[in-house]
Amino acid sequence: MEGNHFNLSVAIFAGGCFWCMEEAFERLPGVVDAIAGYTGGWIENPTYELVSTGETGHREAVKVIYDPSEVSYERLLEVLWRNIDPTDPYGQFADRGEQYRTAIFYLNEGQRELAEESKRRLELSGIFDEPIATEILPAKEFYPAEKYHQGYYLAFPGYYKRYKFYSGRLGFIKSVWEKNAHFRLFPEREHYWFGWVKPSNSELRKFLTPLQYGVTQLGLTEPAFQNEYWEDHEEGIYVDVVSGEPLFSSLDKFDSGTGWPSFTKPLEEWAVVEAEHYEGFLCGKEVRSRFADSHLGHVFEEPTPTGRRYCINSASLRFIKREELERYGYVAYEELFK
């Protein structure tokens, strides 16, 4: 472990080959260490050779040590789901057998509840046609694997990359998640976004249009009356086009006559950050999304039900229709429209 960390938490996941899971978690901000090892069985101090027989009850797993003030357990759960085939009950990709079966090993009741909820939300999304086979089990003794298994992706990068590719894991992850990139597991929870990593400028330019990039990253303003959502009246929510953070609801949207989407309040109190000072009498205060730090628009003091008008660029937003809330993981917001 590096640095001075206090009040660290532990999570244990089995996702097939522990080399791949170790990499997935250690690249996440807020994770202090991910230890490859064995758990779930009845043999004490197992070796790789013993576990590989598939007769010890143990599974290859990772013990994730993390700082909950920097990354949430919910975020760890999403990393797990996005790096496995959760519908496979017999192993993972080229690795077959009991020792490669996936599982979430909970250490307390809070972890169990979140794990169960994450599994339910993934099932509701319809991303997978087959049932979710990943088990949710009480944690047992965790045994660290041999030294040569620790940090394998760093020690043997060439061999590791070939293994991840030819095992089928890398292709599966790309095929499933590139077309479901907008899915979010617990978007309504503020601490869920801890550990979210904003893409680099080069990556942003790949999936944002020039206008979206100019508005969100450079603070430009799109033309009035010539933008996507200024007169949109469908039911749903508006999220940050970069991160998917929930920002506004159609229930709080109104026609201000300005030619830009206008809202009386944010969907979540924590979602929108205001500049400390007004930019000018006619400009109001700049507002940005909290975690992606996208430029959204401005807020004005006006005679609305809340005394405020949030004037937002359409290019900063992505609209999730009411009927698509489950599909993209925003299931908690369905209650708004009942």
Distance CA 112, CA 138 (A): 8
Distance CA 236, CA 308 (A): 21
Q: Which residues contact 180 (CB under 8 A, 6 or more apart)?
A: 125, 127
17 flagged as catalytic = yes
Long-range pairs for 112-116: beta carbons < 8 A, 24 or more residues apart: 112/136, 112/138, 114/73, 114/74, 114/77, 115/77
Q: Which two tokens stand for residue 309?
A: 């008008």
Q: Which two tokens stand for residue 307?
A: 């005394």
Contact 319, 272 (CB under 8 A): no
Contact 21, 62 (CB under 8 A): yes
* Cα–Cα–Cα angle for 276, 280, 285, rounded to 5 degrees: 35
- Catalytic site residue from 17, 20, 283, 311: 17
Largest CA distance in the chain: 73
DSSP states of 130-154: SPP--EEEE----EEPPGGGTTHHH
Distance CA 312, CA 286 (A): 10
Residues with catalytic annotation? 17
